Amino acid sequence: MDASTKKNLQKIACNVRMGVIEGTYNAKSGHPGGSLSISDTLTYLYFNKMNVDPANPDDTGRDRLVLSKGHTAPALYSVLAQKGYFSADELKSLRHIGAMLQGHPCIHIPGVDMSSGSLGQGISAACGMALAGKLDGSSYKVYTILGDGEIEEGQVWEAAMFAAHYKLTNLVAIVDNNGLQIDGAITEVCSPEPITDKFAAFGWHVITMDAHDFDDIDRAFTEAESVTDKPVAIIQKSVKGKGVSFMENQVSWHGTAPNREQYDQAMAELNAQLKELEG
């Protein structure tokens, strides 16, 4: 990836993160931690990988993304707003009565390919979309992002079995391995480890990646495209709360919104990061 592309993605990701803070602050609820850990990956997908057009969100040939870890909707909404599906002002009414942006992704929101949020279900829908693509001989790709806590759901492994059996080579599942879930560290709650071995045993091609390094993200998704016989699982090593110092690696920021003071500090930090990138 060339330096200017990388810098551009870093800037967009910074703006995406500010949208996450804006949304959860105004909602007075929501899930900033896991939203911030997937912000770089979503930015890369929507601005450097996926074949999507905000002017034609229902194009049947488009790539699709199912946010299986639907509670991190603020990141998805923020990247969709950056991409131009709707105004970034919508983030200010996230979760409000009468607002377009629901607490979890809803298929009726422009750019959202599937309603999700009840954990374990999005990957199944992504399998169905990938299967439909195969049936139609269409070349679109389907991406789905899961939490590392989410994969404790049994349905995920039903889907993993299905995807490998039907050779859904147009499917890429990304596991956001930030190591934390609501009740604590994933290894202490009810460990889903070893994650890479599990997906490999289920017949997937497994790639690990640094979720906050665009060069490595690019390497991982490029490798994913070269796989022709299996579905691909990308296990991304990420930092929950990435980009906001006091949120990083803190399980308490899984589902807590910033107050005014915390909002100001988070925005100041992200603005400083953006300024540095622009400087």
Interacting residues toward other proteins by CB under 8 A: 60, 64, 66, 106-108, 113-118, 120-133, 135-136, 154-155, 158-159, 161-162, 165-166
Least separation in angstroms between CB 191 and other proteins: 22
Using the minimum distance from each CB to other proteins, give the nearer residue, 37 or 115: 115
Using the minimum distance from each CB to other proteins, give the nearer residue, 166 or 263: 166
Least separation in angstroms between CB 222 and other proteins: 26
What is the spatial distance between Cα 100 and Cα 133, in angstroms, rounded to a whole number? Answer: 29
> Could you give the C-alpha distances from 206 to 9, 170, 174, 203, 218, in angstroms and in order?
25, 14, 10, 9, 15
Using the minimum distance from each CB to other proteins, give the nearer residue, 52 or 211: 52
DSSP-derived 3-state class of residue 171: strand
Using the minimum distance from each CB to other proteins, give the nearer residue, 155 or 256: 155
H or E stretch at 50: none
Using the minimum distance from each CB to other proteins, give the nearer residue, 76 or 130: 130
Least separation in angstroms between CB 129 and other proteins: 4
Using the minimum distance from each CB to other proteins, give the nearer residue, 34 or 122: 122
Least separation in angstroms between CB 71 and other proteins: 13
What is the spatial distance between Cα 229 and Cα 89, in angstroms, rounded to a whole number? Answer: 43
H or E stretch at 159: helix 154-165
Pick from 31, 119, 115, 16: nearest CA to 66: 115
Using the minimum distance from each CB to other proteins, give the nearer residue, 133 or 243: 133
Rounding to the nearest 10 degrees, give the CA dihedral for residues 231, 226, 176, 258: -130
Q: Which residues contact 126 (CB under 8 A, 6 or more apart)?
A: 64, 66, 68, 114, 142, 143, 144, 159, 171, 173
Least separation in angstroms between CB 226 and other proteins: 25
Least separation in angstroms between CB 128 and other proteins: 2
Pairing of strands 171-177, 142-147: parallel
What is the spatial distance between Cα 182 and Cα 235, in angstroms, rounded to a whole number? Answer: 20
Least separation in angstroms between CB 101 and other proteins: 16
Task: Quickly tell me which residue has 């930090």 as its tokens.
Answer: 269
CA 101 to chain centre: 16
Using the minimum distance from each CB to other proteins, give the nearer residue, 54 or 128: 128
H or E stretch at 230: none
Least separation in angstroms between CB 19 and other proteins: 24
